[in-house]
Amino acid sequence: MIISLCNEVLRDMSFAEQCSFVSALGYRGMEVAPFTLDEEPHLIPVAKRAEWRQLAEDSGIKITGLHWLLLTPAGLSVTTADDSVRYRTLEVMRGLVELCADLGGSVLVHGSPKQRLIADEEDREEGRKRAEDVFAEIAREAEAKGVTYCIEPLSQAETNFINNIAEAADLVSRIGNPSFRTMLDTKAASLSETESIPNLIREWLPKGVIGHVHVNDRNLRAPGQGEDLFAPVFRALTECGYDGVVSVEPFDYFPDGKSAASRAIGYIQGILETIEG
């Protein structure tokens, strides 16, 4: 199991500084939000990608993947009836798949709630079908690049398309490409699922549906900074033989990004030592 940190937590630092700090704390990886790299991250030159990959490797970590994919450039949507917008969105997604592979990452997490929202004036089923077509195409791109593209279930407060793991699993089944899967975000799951997170892991992980995990407290802070208990989560992951990436993704950096990152890795390492010991 690789514990990774989502890099926007340290967005006030240079990329090289992020890598060094993440490594010094004891994380083995860093998950990158593309908007922290460039306003048009899908167009970043190959040489720059190679430079960033080397910076991570020299720091003793790896770039595990990408998340928060479609914040920039503006105006993207996988569900819109506007063919030109949807085509542009697909081109950005293709570029991000290539970016992930070039950086040495293995997984992309598609949250982007606003960019998958089905507008009230549009037919819900048609919007779903348009999104499915986009994801089917991007699954083929991911397969060709040797990475996994994951649709992230998010609560109804954020989006009206894919709100729980069961809905995501249905989409994964319809697309039928092993390079397209879903993932578990503990904050989102705590708000949108009826089952406990450990039970969700035990139900869905053995089915091969979950390709990635984000950990965060429902209070939006890092693990260990709220009332959510994460020992049962890591115990369930361990019992099910999960050996992928678990990324720390707080949204409220309390008291600041460096402190939140430090608190999280110490808390998680303590849990893992107890479980594995």
pLDDT digits (tens, 9 = 90+) for 58-72: 999 999 999 999 999
**178 prior amide bond cis, ω within 30:** no
- Mean pLDDT value across residues 72-85: 97
Which residue's entry shows tokens 């970043």?
44
CB contact set of 157 (below 8 Å; sequence gap of 6+):
191
In 3D space, the residue among 219, 119, 216 whose CA is nearest the CA of residue 159 turns out to be 119
The 10 Å CB-count burial string (b at 16+, else e) for 208-225 is: ebbbbbbbbbebebbbbb
Q: Which domains does the chain have, with CATH numbers?
A: 2-276 (3.20.20.150)
Q: What is the pLDDT of residue 160?
A: 97
- Mean pLDDT value across residues 219-237: 97
- Mean pLDDT value across residues 261-270: 98
- Do you know the residue count of the chain? 277
HEC string of 232-271 equals: HHHHHHHHCCCCCEEEECCCCCCCCHHHHHHHHHHHHHHH
- pLDDT tens column, 191-224: 999 999 999 999 999 999 999 999 999 999 999 9
Beta strand pairing call for 245-248 and 2-6: parallel
The rounded percent of the chain whose pLDDT value lies above 70 is 100
Q: Mean pLDDT for the chain?
A: 97
- pLDDT tens column, 161-173: 999 999 999 999 9
**Beta-ladder partners of 184:** 213
- Considering the entire predicted model, what is its pTM? 0.97
276 has pLDDT over 90? no
